Chain A
């Protein structure tokens, strides 16, 4: 297992005060737990992945994600079993969409 952490400061978008879980920890898949957290406007992401040595790709996927959503005060925790970057992006978007739904 490998643990990766990312933190993006100065987000704009705040989410509802609950938490949501999307996805399943199965082969080629991952679960994303997204929570509202007091982080001084930042978005903090912790990834635990079974596939070692892909830190640079994770970082690129996370930067794209934060650029899309500009999240503030959000904690994201991921348990990964070798999901591809496209699956990771889809799950992250699914998680955020579950959290913004009620604001619409």
Chain B
């Protein structure tokens, strides 16, 4: 049976992506490890601080997994939320897990928690790289309504593999932030088609920021995550890979830096009819894109 990944809650996604009945939660809601900051601001807390972490199996292999709940403060990372992610990544190293699966849906740092939130995000980045350095692959899934933005967008690109749906979005600054900072002439955040063309899964796939594009379906995400775990190989980030990535980014900005619209970039990549790209189903799109996409070496 197919079920929308976008519509599911973080808990539902985690249970659907991992092997049936394999998940056991760490720091579950009953332990009430809530944000120490939100209460001081007279704001509502959540018993899991907006992220579910735990152990489970994926395709029969023991993994660590986390899911951010976009409904709670846009999935934003506070002190506790971030510490749960860091603890999970470190636990993966101690327990020699086969991989870490991160179901990200987040606007980035939780501004209410100021420096504590910022530090939390940077600690998550460090923990992802340390996990990879221990030879354990980190796989990120992005398909929630809030996308994956801010510091957590950087976290996603620190992972071995990014799997997205077209509906998922991945970027540093969100559309409203860009419009506020640079004006509506630069970026119209209310132009939904433009927003998804610029930050959505298909553009990320074509430009090498995402390694696998799937339809908005929990089973499709699960199958892609299992495949990514199988193909992970050496998870370590090497200097050579980093330099190759840097070169890819340099060429990308040199080639496409002048483009006004992602469709211009797709045309330059050789996509015959760029205007048809948003209408393609995931499979047809992937087949079409194979010959044209930029392949990220990481």
Contact = CB atoms under 8 A, between A and B. Distances in A.
20 contacts: A19-B28, A19-B30, A21-B11, A21-B29, A24-B9, A24-B46, A24-B69, A24-B71, A24-B72, A25-B72, A26-B72, A31-B47, A33-B30, A48-B44, A50-B43, A77-B32, A79-B45, A79-B46, A79-B47, A81-B44
B29 A26 contact: no
A82 to B, nearest CB: 9
Contacts of B11: 21
Chain B interface secondary structure, helix, strand, loop or mixed?
loop
A35 B31 CA distance: 11
Nearest to A49: B44
B29 to A, nearest CB: 4
A31 B46 contact: yes
B48 interface: yes
B42 A1 contact: yes
A1 B41 CA distance: 9
A50 B72 CA distance: 14
Interface of A: 1, 19, 21, 24-26, 29, 31, 33, 35, 48-50, 77, 79-81
B30 A25 contact: no
B130 to A, nearest CB: 30
Nearest to B38: A1
A21 B9 CA distance: 12
Nearest to B45: A79
A29 B29 contact: no
Contacts, number: 46
A29 B30 contact: no
B47 A33 contact: yes
Nearest to B11: A21
Contacts of B42: 1
A63 B122 CA distance: 47
A16 B11 CA distance: 20
Interface in B218-257: none
A31 B32 CA distance: 13
A90 B175 CA distance: 35
Contacts of B9: 24
A71 to B, nearest CB: 17
Interface string B26-64: 001110100000010011111110100000000000000
A24 B29 CA distance: 12
A21 B45 contact: no
Given A25-B71, A26-B71, A33-B29, A77 B47 contact: yes
A48 B47 CA distance: 12
B67 to A, nearest CB: 12
A40 to B, nearest CB: 20
A29 B71 contact: yes
Contacts of B71: 24-26, 29
A35 B47 CA distance: 13
B46 A25 contact: yes
A1 B43 contact: yes
A96 to B, nearest CB: 16
B29 A1 contact: no
